[in-house]
Structure formats: structure tokens, C-alpha cells
């Protein structure tokens, strides 16, 4: 009988999508480095309290162009890992949907922070496409309201100041406990509770590999730290995993 292949869990952050044209938040060229006030645009309190914050937030979403972004070599590498038959789960802090767009099986992607592809009314909870809301912004609406009840619309993402969905977090926790290899890719590992997942994995015997341009709090616990650009590093790492090259870690 063939040896059972190890479960690989991959936690991805904003760094995996920067080559798709989506800026990260905390990196040297990140959105908050260029404009520290931009953090309030994705923080629930200011967003709900201020029409001006919402206006700027809609413009930011329009200008970032996440809905038009295309998967890059990093996203495609994880698809190749799945197609090679390696048991895989992706836990993503991103809301851009690029893992699924690249061809990864949707049920294998756990979106910790929700999705930017949809909006939701804060009052009646009706859900609609983000693209339609952005079309209203392009047509001149500074702060498009819910068409059903007139209340505030918000992205279906977990904003700063909000808790993650407990069911989603439980799924991610179970994956971290069950995996034999845990990749942390393009994430600063500073935002909890997602940042706790690598420690859970290590405590349950997984080998941790960090792929990130900057240092993280977990570098000292990692079996390997890779500083190369993600679009270059991840395809090479995937080839090693497909070949079963875990003994070298």
C-alpha cells in the first residue's frame, strides 16, 4: 500500500495577492504605510458612524480594483498542489476570492475574513453583489444605501473591531490541529485569532514553513523561513511537497 500523504494547511495573507495588484496593509509599501488614516476605512466603528468614512471606503474599494484582479503564480501553485493529490486546506485572511478563481476547490478554502465580492445591509441583512454597489458609486452615489430598507450597506468582510465567525474559526482550528505541514504565506502573523493558527499546528506536531518578505513572530518556531518573492517561492515549495520532500525540512 502507498504511504498516506500528509495534510497540508496553508494560511495565506495579503502578500500572496500583491502580485495580482492588490496592495497589502502592513508591508513596507502597504496601504497603511502610505496613508495611516486608511485603517479606519476597514474598522467597523468609524465605518458605521461616519458617512465620510464610508464614502472614502467605497472609493478605496473602487480604486483597489480587487474584483478585477487575476490569480498569480502563487495562487496557481496551490491549485497544482491540489491537482497532484496532496490533501490540502487553505485558510485565507484574504477576501479577494483569488484562490477559487485560480481553480482551487471552493470547499477546501476557508475564508476567515469573509468575502469582498458581496455586500450586506446592516439592518435587514439582505445580501447583494459588490459589483452592483460599485456601479452605483461610479454613477455618482457617494454612499450607496440598501435598496430594500435604506440602511447602511457594508462589505461581507470581517472588519477590524469585529469577531470572526465562530463556525469558520472552529473549522480553521480543526485543520490546524490535523495537518502535518502548515505553510504561512504572505502574512505578518500579527492579527489574531488567525495568527494563533500556526502555533496550534506546531503544538500538534506540524512542521511550520513561513514564506513572507518580512519577519514574523513565528520565524523562530518554523522548520524553514523563505524570504523570496511569493510568486517565485511558492511554486518551488509546491514541487518539493508534491515530491514528498519533507524529510529535508
Q: How far apart are CA 60 and CA 52, in angstroms?
A: 12
Residue-range definition of the domain harbouring residue 175: 1-22+71-113+163-249
CATH number of the domain where residue 246 is located: 3.40.50.1220
- Cβ atoms within 10 A of the Cβ of 193, count? 13
Residues 49, 144, single domain; the answer is yes
Considering its fold, how many domains does the chain have in total? 2
45 with 57, same domain?
A: yes
CATH number at 148 reads 3.30.1600.10
Would you mind telling me the total number of residues written for the chain in this entry?
249
For residue 90, the model assigns a pLDDT of: 98
Within 115-178, where are the H helices?
Answer: 130-138, 166-178
CB atoms within 10 A of CB 72: 20
Residue 66 bridge partners (DSSP): none
DSSP state of 114: E
Give yes or no: residues 7 and 126 share one domain.
no
Q: Please tell me the predicted confidence (pLDDT) of residue 30.
A: 54
Instruction: Extract the C-alpha cell encoding 75.
Output: 495562487
H/E stretch holding 109 reads strand 109-111
Same domain, 237 and 208: yes
pTM recorded for the entire structure: 0.86
- Could you tell me if 49 and 36 lie in one domain? yes
Domain final residue, candidates 134, 157, 180: 157
Each of the 249 residues of the chain gets a pLDDT tens digit; together they read 345 778 999 999 999 999 998 876 655 555 555 566 778 888 999 999 999 999 999 998 888 777 788 999 999 999 999 999 999 999 999 999 999 999 999 999 999 999 999 999 999 999 999 999 999 999 999 999 999 999 999 999 999 899 999 999 999 999 999 999 999 999 999 888 889 999 999 999 999 999 999 999 999 999 999 999 999 999 999 999 988 765 444
The whole-number pLDDT of residue 61 equals 86
Give the end of a domain, one of 135, 157, 179. Answer: 157
| 167 and 153 together in one domain | no
Catalytic residue among 75, 99, 113, 204: 113
**Domain stops at, among 157, 181, 209:** 157
CB neighbourhood size of 116 (10 A): 20
Catalytic residue status for 113: yes
Amino acid at each position: 500500500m502507498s504511504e498516506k500523504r500528509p495534510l497540508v494547511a496553508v494560511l495565506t495573507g495579503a502578500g500572496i495577492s500583491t502580485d495580482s495588484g492588490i496592495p497589502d496593509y502592513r508591508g513596507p509599501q502597504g496601504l497603511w504605510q502610505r496613508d495611516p488614516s486608511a485603517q479606519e476605512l476597514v474598522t467597523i466603528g468609524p465605518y458605521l458612524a461616519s458617512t465620510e468614512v464610508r464614502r472614502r471606503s467605497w472609493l478605496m474599494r473602487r480604486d483597489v480594483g480587487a474584483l478585477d484582479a487575476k490569480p498569480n503564480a502563487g495562487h496557481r501553485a496551490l491549485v497544482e498542489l491540489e491537482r497532484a493529490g496532496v490533501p490540502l486546506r487553505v485558510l485565507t485572511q484574504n477576501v479577494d476570492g483569488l484562490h477559487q478563481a485560480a481553480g482551487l476547490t471552493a470547499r477546501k478554502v476557508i475564508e476567515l475574513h469573509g468575502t469582498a465580492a458581496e455586500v450586506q445591509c446592516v439592518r435587514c441583512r439582505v445580501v447583494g453583489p459588490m459589483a452592483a454597489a460599485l456601479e452605483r458609486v461610479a454613477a455618482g452615489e457617494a454612499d450607496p444605501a440598501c435598496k430594500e430598507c435604506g440602511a447602511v450597506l457594508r462589505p461581507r468582510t470581517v472588519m477590524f473591531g469585529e469577531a470572526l465567525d465562530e463556525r469558520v474559526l472552529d473549522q480553521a482550528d480543526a485543520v490546524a490541529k490535523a495537518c502535518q505541514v502548515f505553510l504561512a504565506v504572505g502574512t505578518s502573523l500579527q492579527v489574531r485569532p488567525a495568527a494563533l493558527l500556526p502555533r496550534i499546528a506546531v503544538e500538534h506536531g506540524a512542521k511550520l514553513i513561513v514564506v513572507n518578505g518580512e519577519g514574523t513572530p513565528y520565524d523562530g518556531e518554523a522548520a524553514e523561513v523563505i524570504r523570496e518573492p511569493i510568486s517565485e517561492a511558492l511554486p518551488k515549495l509546491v514541487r518539493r511537497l508534491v515530491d514528498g520532500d519533507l524529510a529535508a525540512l
